[in-house]
Structure 1
Amino acid sequence: MLSLAHARHRGLWRCATQEDNDLSFDLDAVQTAQPGVTLMQPPQDATSEALLAHILKSLDDDKAEDIVQVDLRGKSAIGDHMVICSGRSSRQVAAISEKLVERIKSAFGITAKIEGKDAGDWVLIDTGDVIVHVFRPEVREFYQLEKMWLPAEAAASRA
């Protein structure tokens, strides 16, 4: 392991700082340097609430069942909201997930991370501010994420 003094002596510290400076740029300068080239910027309304509303509408449009939203603000640093829903089959779970990722990309310019799509039992979609879990009903019943995140009375009323 290199100490900071050793890294400076070998010139590694300077290289990292120079690389950081090279990689940071002024967006306006890039756009004026190459006319006709537009860089994707996050839309101004890309708040976690707008993203959540878009996700809930998409899930409803694709006939996801038993949609539950959990407010994570003040409870966890993983995101602001969590959405849990079910699809009737592995095929529907995969289709709901694929469409949701496409819609988020087109509406907000966000490339969501997706895990578990190939198996189709439990798909996790991470958009940064909103985490979405799409389950087959049997798998959802087994893991019972609602019990971990919802208040006890809300989780009990869902059972």
Structure 2
Amino acid sequence: MTSWTRIDLGLAVVVALLAMWLAWPTGEVARAPTLTALAAQAVSSIRIEHADRLEMAFSRDADAWAMTYPHAAAADPRRVGQLLAIAAAPVLQQLDAADEPGRYGLDRPSAVVQFDAVRIEFGDRDPSQQARYVRVDQDIAAIDELYFNLAMLPARHFRAATATP
């Protein structure tokens, strides 16, 4: 190994260490804002509509969730927890509420999830095909497509394993 090769290797190590030091995060990483400030523990009812038609309804009595529509049955708490996560979904992009809602498919929402009095309306996909436009009150945002997919699951996915159809 020549002396120039040793110098080159030494410089490469120094550059790599400097790059790691510059890329190292400092302090707290900023969290994305959430879709609503709703606390999951405070929710007592959930309604899911697809194209203006009620698909499912749930109510909570103490700590147990029950499906009340399309039929009465015990609800799977894990699946209901996933639905409740929609309210706390991280906002990927906040959009100008003055824009025409029809531009985002929110003039006729494809799905609506309602937690007590808080309505979350789902519109079109964004052009990246990884996010979905939503409206809460008059605020328009983009959230991960996963939350829309949860809202579109059929009722059988939300029945507890011990529940009968």
Structure in which a larger fraction of residues adopt strand: 2
Q: Whose helix proportion is higher, 1 or 2?
A: 1
User: 1 or 2 for the larger relative contact order (CA 8 Å, sep ≥6)?
Assistant: 2
TM-score (norm: length of structure 2): 0.34
